[in-house]
Structure 1
């Protein structure tokens, strides 16, 4: 029975019973007697309690649905309010769950297209940096060397300094190109790419250690790319925001699947809102059906954990 008719009929029954009592055994005198006032008060209380119970029972699923609407996050899919209640309330919750299914599917598809376009653009920019800017700077270095060989001794030292500056700029261009397009990932595989990534981030102020299992299962190209990008973003956040001295990167094969962990000994999150980098990691995780969690590290600091179910573990 629809909610409207349930509430209407209950009110009709209560009011009909009250009217029948007033027309029958219950009368009201003027002035009102104490016993009559007590009977009327008890009847009013019974009416209010009956209406309150019905509204609480009938509208309870709507309150749970409201909470679900305010807390739903498409980057954390799967949570659904339980279908409860009767009539149009159950139908409303079912429709809301179907809408979430459709939104999550559409978001996953649009995110896949966006990230695919992003990777293609990264590839194009890296190629142009390598082919255009890199070759131009290489030609400049050769020309500077030729000029320095024929320059007067007083000018030769300045030209050598310009050479070193140009060479440093060329190295930075190559480093940026490697980050945009991890060629080592395509050529040597995920383990070698992650080791190269940790070496790239290691410096005088930061030590990056890695532990990568040797018995990793065969992963798809998209899965390897997501693992690499999440590790890259985790290391970048540790360098930029954590104030860490040490970062540990681990890639292990567990009963849950392939597990990537990037943990630092920095300052921690402390309730800071998630930025675009973390949202990007969550979207990448959704593309391969992986679970991403962000929280305190084993000792202190922050840990980014990505669990990728492999076909054997998901069966």
Structure 2
């Protein structure tokens, strides 16, 4: 029973509790004036009752308006608390109100600043560790597994050359299977660690990316020729966002065409990926999209995911160096 009573009390808003308490005081005061011997006349007449009732209503309305205006900053703070997303930074609340209310809003803004800073630091460390692990795995695939398979291919060729004629065809098929496996391992290693990004730059890396993971799609590529310089970390963020966006298109969109554009933007550089698939609809953002947002925050960039009439558009705007 006690828990049920607390639940009912919690459902009454702060405005409702303050208003009801003030209304109770005003109603008691009015009743005392109306029925106490200490009145204008020994017995309150009907005209005085009308005046007292009208005065009570006017005081209740004024009380409600004043309380609502005074608590408006708390309503905005409550809405901000329920809708805030650390991956989508927005403007801070203005510290309006008097005394403790303004101080509460200022404290809330400081808390959000601290949480965003701590999340950014934690995300940077996690993504840095992730990239280091990707490089390690890619290096092992290339140096160990890749070289071992290369040796296997050479041995198969030697054996096939010396084998009887009726066995050579089967050995050739084993060679082709091994060669396909080696190509796949090299492709995975390139996706884990885009060496072309470090050696040839962002545009070449994006061209190679579209050639690798958009099989079956009509791909339109648009790259501006006078792009401003980006530092290595920013280029890696752009590449990973493009990689995730194209992967989502291939796996989930059911699209027939996709456009990848890297253009100038007043703030720096804009990456845009647009497909003609089924779109995201009302689906919640998955780990891939949230990962894109986390990466973008590391370089003070912005990611927008927009549902089109047909398809989805991903826009990333990064500041130039």
Q: What is the TM-score of this pair, normalised by structure 1?
A: 0.88
Contact 2:214/2:250 (8 A) holds in 1: no
Equivalent residue number for residue 40 of structure 2: 25
Counterpart check, 1:300 vs 2:310:
yes
1:49 deviation in Å? 1.8
Equivalent residue number for residue 152 of structure 2: 140
Distance in 1 (CA, whole Å) between partners of 2:41 and 2:52 is 9
1:60 deviation in Å? 1.1
Equivalent residue number for residue 238 of structure 1: 249
Distance in 2 (CA, whole Å) between partners of 1:201 and 1:137 is 23
Per-residue deviation, residues 98-128 of structure 1 (Å, max 9, x unmatched): 0001111111111111111110000000001
Distance in 1 (CA, whole Å) between partners of 2:26 and 2:307 is 57
Distance in 2 (CA, whole Å) between partners of 1:131 and 1:72 is 46
In structure 2, do the counterparts of structure 1 residues 121 and 93 end up closer, same or farther at CA, with 3 Å as the change threshold? same
Q: What is the TM-score of this pair, normalised by structure 2?
A: 0.87
Q: How many residues align?
A: 302
Moved more, 208-217 or 17-26: 17-26
1:306 deviation in Å? 0.5
In structure 2, do the counterparts of structure 1 residues 26 and 218 end up closer, same or farther at CA, with 3 Å as the change threshold? farther
Matches within 5 A, 1:1-315: 18=30, 23-25=38-40, 28=43, 34-203=46-215, 205-297=216-308, 300-310=310-320
Contact 2:73/2:101 (8 A) holds in 1: yes
Moved more, 133-142 or 63-72: 133-142
Distance in 1 (CA, whole Å) between partners of 2:152 and 2:101 is 73
1:254 deviation in Å? 2.5
1:233 deviation in Å? 0.7
SS at match of 1:244: coil
SS at match of 2:209: helix
SS at match of 2:226: coil
Distance in 2 (CA, whole Å) between partners of 1:36 and 1:207 is 85
What 5-or-longer segments of structure 1 have no aligned partner?
none
Per-residue deviation, residues 255-278 of structure 1 (Å, max 9, x unmatched): 232010011111111111110010
1:13 deviation in Å? 9.5
1:42 deviation in Å? 2.4
1:310 deviation in Å? 2.3
